[in-house]
Amino acid sequence: MNQLKGERFWPQVGYALVTHSPEGRVGAEVKVTWCSSPQHLLEPPSPLPTYWSSVFPATADAAMFAVRSAAASGPVFAGCRPWLRSGGQQLLSLAAFHGSAQRAKAKVAVILSGSGVYDGTEIHEASAILVHLSREGAEVKMYAPDISQMHVIDHTKGQPTENEKRNVLVESARIARGKVTDLSKLNSKDYDAVIFPGGFGVAKNLSTFAVDGKDCKVNKDVERILSQFHKEGKPIGLCCISPILAAKVIQGTEVTVGHEQEEEGKWPYCGTAEAIKALGAKHCVKEVTEAHVDTKNKVVTTPAFMCETALHHIFDGIGLMVRNVLKLTKK
């Protein structure tokens, strides 16, 4: 140890292994390799000078804490980095936690309204929701109402087509890769949370907001689902225009659709905030990368494409919404 005096070194958490004996006893160990660089340690061979490696016993909680600390992007331990497999292909700090007690997966229903921003689900938003749910380990099933679309929009022109009809369930199957279920069959008892992507399909197919504004009606199954999840104290996530559904169905809820002023075209749908207020809900001004959590009603919202901005900002805001929804499930 004397040769280390005055030098700086960094811990690289290699793994945290938790074992469960038949008698119910829990054992754990953590391997830590110390090296002279804050960079990721590659093994084998290591291009970085290594001081020593040690394996020591720990409690299961301590092992999990070590894993999460190393996997964090800096806020837990400055200079603490995950140890990587050879070639840096996989984070051991994320992948090598083992044990017989598996954390229960949150079961989430995602409600689609067709396929395509102008007459159905906003596809980028739906995809972002699914990516974030997948990353967080949630179990997902998609639903859509078996009804006709209000109309069909030619997305190259932004104009309705003539004499064309499409079904919301059939169109939603494009996003769900065929695995979509009739919304009438959704039972809130089977899920921990529900999430609604945006898109004009919310205002045209899941409700009549596009035509009737604050005097709109909500599809009976959508209203039933929102009411049931709310009554059961289960979280509801909504983005883009879909918070209007919660504002209509859940009296006095708090939601966001972003800003309340157009700001030179950055927030082209800012008028929606006034409709939300007219419905008796509270509108909370948020940035596109933020989410608002109504802790009382367990409603989580984010502006998404209510804002004219770069796609990655939309993705980040939706990620925050998804994580907050899952946090409220306590799974």
Per-residue pLDDT reduced to its tens digit, 43-76: 444 444 444 444 445 555 555 555 555 444 333 3
Average pLDDT, the chain: 81
The model's pLDDT over 206-242, given as tens digits with 9 standing for 90+, comes to: 999 999 999 999 999 999 999 999 999 999 999 999 9
Beta strands 236-239 and 193-196: pairing type? parallel
Q: How many Cβ atoms are within 10 Å of 21's Cβ, its own excluded?
A: 9
Confidence check: pLDDT of 85 > 50: no
Residue 243, pLDDT > 60, answer yes
How confident is the model at residue 30, as a pLDDT? Answer: 52
State the Cα–Cα distance between residues 329 and 319, nearest whole angstrom: 16
Average pLDDT over residues 278-304: 98
240 is catalytic: yes
The C-alpha atoms of residue 259 and residue 266 are separated, in whole angstroms, by: 9
Looking at residue 331, its pLDDT comes to 81
Residue among 216, 239, 240, 307 flagged as catalytic: 240
Q: Are 288 and 224 in contact (CB under 8 A)?
A: no
Give 238's strand partners.
196, 301
- Both structure tokens of 39: 């960079």
Amino acid in position 323:
R
Phi and psi at 315, nearest 5°, equal -60, -45
Q: What average pLDDT does range 97-104 have in this prediction?
A: 46
Please report which confidence band the pLDDT of residue 103 belongs to, taking 50, 70 and 90 as the band edges. low
DSSP 168: H
From residue 188, give the alpha-carbon distance in Å to each of 220, 226, 233, 235: 15, 9, 11, 11
The residues pairing with 325 across neighbouring beta strands, listed in sequence order, are: none
Residues ≥6 apart with Cβ < 8 Å to 262:
268, 270
User: Please, which residues bridge with residue 148 across strands?
Assistant: 167
Assess whether pLDDT exceeds 50 at residue 94: no
237 neighbors 196 (Cβ within 8 angstroms): yes
293 forms bridges with which residues in the sheet?
300
pLDDT digits 0-9 by tens, 160-187: 999 999 999 999 999 999 999 999 999 9
User: How confident is the model at residue 98, as a pLDDT?
Assistant: 34
Considering only CA atoms, which of 290, 297, 193, 181 is closest in space to residue 249? 297
Mean pLDDT confidence for 24-29:
56
The CATH label, of 3.40.50.2300, 1.10.3720.10, 3.40.50.300, 3.40.50.880, for the domain at 107-329 is 3.40.50.880
Within 10 angstroms of residue 285's Cβ, the number of other Cβ atoms is 15
In the chain, ranges of CATH 3.40.50.880 domains? 107-329
The single residue listed with the structure tokens 């980040």 is 316
